[in-house]
Structure 1
């Protein structure tokens, strides 16, 4: 069922998104899924979907490395994947503290959902709810409980050991590096790559815990913990002036 004819790409065989958590990645994925009428609720955790001539793969190392897809995405680290040649690769970065705060808000929102209706709001509820144990009683508990993999997700996506130079070297092999603050421009750029207009789809919209009051002391503690990721983020931002 897979072929390289339209709607596949002119200059590449496929597109792959290194999906960094809480960096508007799901909205980007949804823009691609919507080309065939799919959305987050329909996709759920399915590793392979085929609809209207488009093939999508996600969160499956074998399927991604085989390369028989139009669009792929996953949270699998760069260093743990062998992306096929002629793949347009990209990621979306975000200010490390803002990304961390967004994760905190998100987990608090998931924790507040009614279990009876939670799947209507969050298709990954059963998996994510386990992570709400990291919340503890306050933001300090969250900082203490959160595994490094999630605390410094951007840095560790591109370096197994959190080495800044290695992460910079690896991320530079991608075709595009975007910034969440300029999300709309990223969508415009990706539309040019695809040759079809991508429409922005906000799959997760939640206002709960939007105005969390985090003390300056806790903000500083978080930024100290994120020092290496900030060094990585700033080097990429300065070098590429991310979209």
Structure 2
């Protein structure tokens, strides 16, 4: 009862604290940038590059993670991470979150982008990340939240991982894991979707031009753990993510910029 009351109070306070922010007065095609960051889709490097481009430094990402409100005012505007209330209020210039897109409320003045990854490769990367955390950072919240499948071997991981983590890309767009619904949501709400291997081809030049940013992108993170599944484990995993694979295959033809979104009232 008390925990529920704390959440209600926190939500009420946050709603009061966060007000919509526009980077410029008057009409503008886009007022802010949101990275709909699907886990293990190489997003942290992009986040750090964009944070730096609006006035942050090499330490800002870590400072933002420790900040109580996960919001910081930088030279060109405010930056928000992991705070869905602030994001839903439009209270940022640049924001990123692991919250699935279907749970967020966005408007048409928010340029929203995400990256997709080959599903089997993404799940193996998730497993390697958890092993890195076990070895290097046992206090990381992911280990507490994902303890039911974080510890143990790869078979234990596959036995216990919830579908929202297993097929996180599909779940990001559809809470019911419906491929057609996911494609529609992506086309309605995402202004850019692309492969993680080439973020600089179209997205970064557009953001630099549209928002007047100097973006110095470098891929920064790589797992120390290098687990490779056996042929049987690979086949099992491939079968488990078959619906997400179908989604990603259909999504590929829409890779690139999309200015015909219908976020409001969707």
Q: Does 1:94 align with 2:117?
A: yes
After superposition, give the CA deviation of every residue in 1:190-215 in whole Å (9 maximum; x if it has no partner).
33333322112445344x222x2310
Structure 2 length-normalised TM:
0.78
Q: Distance in 2 between matches of 1:132 and 1:199?
A: 36
Backbone CA RMSD of aligned residues: 2.4
Q: Distance in 2 between matches of 1:89 and 1:192?
A: 16
Equivalent position of 2:3 in the other structure:
none
Task: Name whichever of 24-33 and 178-187 sits farther off.
Answer: 178-187
**CA 1:26–1:114: 2 relative to 1, 3 Å:** closer
**CA 1:114–1:64: 2 relative to 1, 3 Å:** closer
Q: Secondary structure at the match of 1:82?
A: coil
Q: 1:107 aligns with which of 130, 133, 136?
A: 130
Task: Name whichever of 218-227 and 9-18 sits farther off.
Answer: 9-18
Task: Name whichever of 164-173 and 66-75 sits farther off.
Answer: 66-75
Q: Which runs of 5+ in 2 are unaligned?
A: 1-18, 258-266
Equivalent position of 2:207 in the other structure:
190
Q: Which runs of 5+ in 1 are unaligned?
A: 116-124
**CA 1:192–1:98: 2 relative to 1, 3 Å:** farther
Q: Does 1:4 align with 2:9?
A: no
Equivalent position of 1:121 in the other structure:
none
Aligned residues of 2:194 and 2:255 also touching (Cα < 8 A): no
Q: 1:138 aligns with which of 153, 160, 164?
A: 153
Equivalent position of 1:175 in the other structure:
191
Q: Secondary structure at the match of 1:88?
A: strand
Equivalent position of 2:169 in the other structure:
154
Residues 111-130 of structure 1: matches in 2 within 5 Å?
A: 111-113=134-136, 125-130=139-144
**CA 1:64–1:114: 2 relative to 1, 3 Å:** closer
**CA 1:63–1:32: 2 relative to 1, 3 Å:** same
Task: Name whichever of 181-190 and 72-81 sits farther off.
Answer: 181-190
Residues 1-243 of structure 1: matches in 2 within 5 Å?
A: 3-5=22-24, 11-35=29-53, 36-38=55-57, 39-46=60-67, 47-113=70-136, 125-130=139-144, 131-173=146-188, 174-185=190-201, 186-206=203-223, 208-210=224-226, 212-237=227-252, 239-241=253-255
Q: Distance in 2 between matches of 1:166 and 1:99?
A: 22
Q: Distance in 1 between matches of 2:131 and 2:210?
A: 36
